[in-house]
A and B are shown apart, each in its own frame.
Chain A
Amino acid sequence: MISPFSFVGSKVAGACRSCADVCAYIGESVCAFGGILFHPSRFRAGDFFLAFQRAAFDGLVITSGIGLLLGLILAFESAAALRMFGAEVYVSDLLAIGLFRELGPLVTAIVLAGRSGSAFAAEIGTMKVDEELDALTTMGLSPVRFLVPPRVAAAVLAMPILTVFAELAGLAGGAGVLSLMGVPFEVFVEHVTDSTGLFAVVFGLVKGALFGLAIGMVGCYAGMRAKSTADAVGVAATSAVVSGIVSIALIDGLLAVLCYICGV
């Protein structure tokens, strides 16, 4: 029987090893990106375009669809409350601020984590099971340098694009609901532009890019650390989605605190 001390000790040692592993991965990734800055020819453009196409273009419809539904739901729910005060028109302000600053990037990131984060993990996990990562290592090539930068760059660039589409679709949904309630489209647009400054829009896009960075890094990490067993790819994909969403929430929380401290 394992004593409580050895149980706790093994858990702590395991956690320390995981932390060291994550730090090594981040360090190696930073070196890989740094190496690409000095030797751009090392960047695997083919892999990047493929990952970008799958993350951005193939995800446009679902992201826009979810954005549209989000706008509809938000507009209906908030209109029900604001109507009691005769203030339905302010639904457009709420929608604009909510979508640009928070919900647009957040919902897009969750969709990307489910689609691309899991895909990165499954793809790299399958390569690991097929010994392709071992083949790279024995050739003297770093699997991190070879596999991570194209996928992370694709996720970072895809996120702002998808976010813009989700936000526009959300606004379109909200505009549709408000027009049913008798708020003219011109008034809707006027309230949206008045309530949203350039900072909110840019902040949302930067936040989206940060989410993309986290999703890409977490997805690739989950794939690299997959075991060489039959169920390993499924486990890696699940881990990528869960860890991706947790990391999105953490980054979002940190940015919220930062904005509060800075008063923006």
Chain B
Amino acid sequence: MEKQTMIQLQNVDAGYPGAVILENISFNVFKGEIFILLGGSGCGKSTVMKHMIGLNPVLSGNLRVAGLEWDFDTRTELCRKIGVMFQSGALFGSMTCLENVMLPIREFTSSKKRACCERAMQLLRDVELEDAADKMPSEISGGMRKRVAIARAMALDPEIVFLDEPSAGLDPITSAALDDLILKLRAEKGMTFVIVTHELDSIFKIADRCAMFDKSRRAMIALGRPQELKHKSEDAFVKRFFNRGSE
């Protein structure tokens, strides 16, 4: 059976007006996959993600998310299909954790406040943070903030969840717990995950496939399963990158 394509990039130039960071990128992300955007610092993986989530338009080429291109007419529909967790969590400091998770539910559903609250509590339970519901983001740890941000990203049952460096700044135990959470959510809800990271332990644990970018060549240099890339790639940069971590 053919896999359903959730994200399609064809000959995309990524970057900002006047500054091309990556050229001619092409790959697909399939439904239910955990897909990693991988590479060294500054290689453009977050930039590619910003194109995917509609924050910046691609410089050239074709990008389709859930079968649609980002434009004025499709923006609202596409925003309902994706959930995003930013590197810092990007929780709103003037709201409690519960209010943060409730925000998209209240804005985009016609549910009563009580129903929104129950749904948000369920999401917090899913990320094992129901005790933090009434706390402000400043009162919880970095790892907890990221889990609340994941709960918020999942609030409208999106088809695709984007996570920007979920393990950054976390200790190994919290980082591993976050990986387990991602695997659990994928198994329970069948969502597609696109994750930006360069944590090798995390990649080997959760990734189905990954795309690797190289800053100096301004190109995507590898695409495939992480184990395959580590053992079979002929590219010197890919070998060096993967051999610094353990499988």
Binding site for B on A (CB under 8 A): 46-47, 50, 127, 130-132, 134-135, 137-141
Determine if B75 is an interface residue (Cβ-Cβ < 8 Å): yes
Residue contacts A-B, CB under 8 angstroms, 29 given: A46-B94, A50-B94, A127-B92, A130-B88, A131-B86, A131-B87, A131-B90, A132-B91, A132-B93, A134-B55, A134-B84, A134-B86, A134-B90, A135-B84, A135-B86, A137-B54, A138-B53, A138-B79, A138-B84, A139-B84, A139-B103, A139-B104, A139-B107, A140-B76, A140-B80, A140-B108, A141-B103, A141-B104, A141-B107
Chain A residues lying within 8 Å of B108, measured Cβ to Cβ, are: 140
How distant is B239 from chain A, measured CB to nearest CB, in Å?
A: 34
Chain B residues lying within 8 Å of A138, measured Cβ to Cβ, are: 53-55, 79, 82, 84
CB < 8 Å neighbour of A47 from B53, B54, B94: B94
Contact B79 A135 (CB under 8 A): no
The A contact surface, by secondary structure, is helix
- Top 9 closest A-B pairs, CB basis? A140-B79, A135-B90, A131-B86, A131-B90, A138-B84, A132-B90, A139-B104, A138-B53, A130-B88
Q: Beyond the given A131-B88, A139-B84, could you list 11 further A-B residue pairs with CB under 8 A, ordered by the A residue number?
A: A130-B88, A131-B86, A131-B90, A132-B90, A132-B92, A134-B90, A135-B90, A137-B55, A138-B55, A140-B76, A140-B108
How distant is A135 from chain B, measured CB to nearest CB, in Å?
A: 4
Complexed CA–CA distance, A139 and B84 (Å): 8
Complexed CA–CA distance, A47 and B99 (Å): 13
Complexed CA–CA distance, A135 and B108 (Å): 15
Which size class do B's interface residues fall under? 20 to 34
Chain A residues lying within 8 Å of B76, measured Cβ to Cβ, are: 140
How distant is B153 from chain A, measured CB to nearest CB, in Å?
A: 9
How distant is B18 from chain A, measured CB to nearest CB, in Å?
A: 12
Known contacts A50-B94, A134-B55, A140 near B88 by CB under 8 Å: no
How distant is B178 from chain A, measured CB to nearest CB, in Å?
A: 18
What residue in chain B is nearest A138 (Cβ atoms)? B84
What residue in chain B is nearest A141 (Cβ atoms)? B107
How distant is B70 from chain A, measured CB to nearest CB, in Å?
A: 11
Chain B residues lying within 8 Å of A130, measured Cβ to Cβ, are: 88, 90
Chain B residues lying within 8 Å of A134, measured Cβ to Cβ, are: 55, 84, 86, 90
How distant is B66 from chain A, measured CB to nearest CB, in Å?
A: 14
Complexed CA–CA distance, A137 and B86 (Å): 12
Chain A residues lying within 8 Å of B88, measured Cβ to Cβ, are: 130-131
Complexed CA–CA distance, A189 and B29 (Å): 78
Contact A140 B75 (CB under 8 A): yes
Complexed CA–CA distance, A130 and B92 (Å): 9
Chain A residues lying within 8 Å of B91, measured Cβ to Cβ, are: 132
What residue in chain B is nearest A132 (Cβ atoms)? B90
Chain A residues lying within 8 Å of B92, measured Cβ to Cβ, are: 127, 132, 135
Complexed CA–CA distance, A131 and B87 (Å): 8
What residue in chain A is nearest B84 (Cβ atoms)? A138
**Residue interface mask B72-86, A partner, CB < 8 A = 1:** 000110011010101
What residue in chain B is nearest A126 (Cβ atoms)? B93
Complexed CA–CA distance, A142 and B238 (Å): 40
Name the residue among A137, A138, A140 with the largest chain B CB count within 10 angstroms. A138
Give the residues from 105 to 120 in chain B that come closer than 8 angstroms, CB to CB, to chain A: 107-108
Chain A residues lying within 8 Å of B86, measured Cβ to Cβ, are: 131, 134-135
Chain A residues lying within 8 Å of B107, measured Cβ to Cβ, are: 139-141
Complexed CA–CA distance, A132 and B87 (Å): 11
What residue in chain B is nearest A133 (Cβ atoms)? B90
Chain A residues lying within 8 Å of B79, measured Cβ to Cβ, are: 138-140
Complexed CA–CA distance, A73 and B176 (Å): 67
Give the residues from 38 to 55 in chain B that come closer than 8 angstroms, CB to CB, to chain A: 53-55
How distant is A189 from chain B, measured CB to nearest CB, in Å?
A: 45
What residue in chain B is nearest A135 (Cβ atoms)? B90
Chain A residues lying within 8 Å of B104, measured Cβ to Cβ, are: 139, 141
Complexed CA–CA distance, A50 and B95 (Å): 12
Complexed CA–CA distance, A47 and B91 (Å): 15
Chain A residues lying within 8 Å of B87, measured Cβ to Cβ, are: 131
Chain B residues lying within 8 Å of A50, measured Cβ to Cβ, are: 94
What residue in chain B is nearest A46 (Cβ atoms)? B94
Complexed CA–CA distance, A110 and B53 (Å): 41
How distant is B150 from chain A, measured CB to nearest CB, in Å?
A: 13
How distant is A128 from chain B, measured CB to nearest CB, in Å?
A: 10
What residue in chain A is nearest B78 (Cβ atoms)? A140
Chain A residues lying within 8 Å of B84, measured Cβ to Cβ, are: 134-135, 138-139
What residue in chain A is nearest B53 (Cβ atoms)? A138
Complexed CA–CA distance, A135 and B53 (Å): 10
What residue in chain A is nearest B76 (Cβ atoms)? A140
Complexed CA–CA distance, A131 and B92 (Å): 10
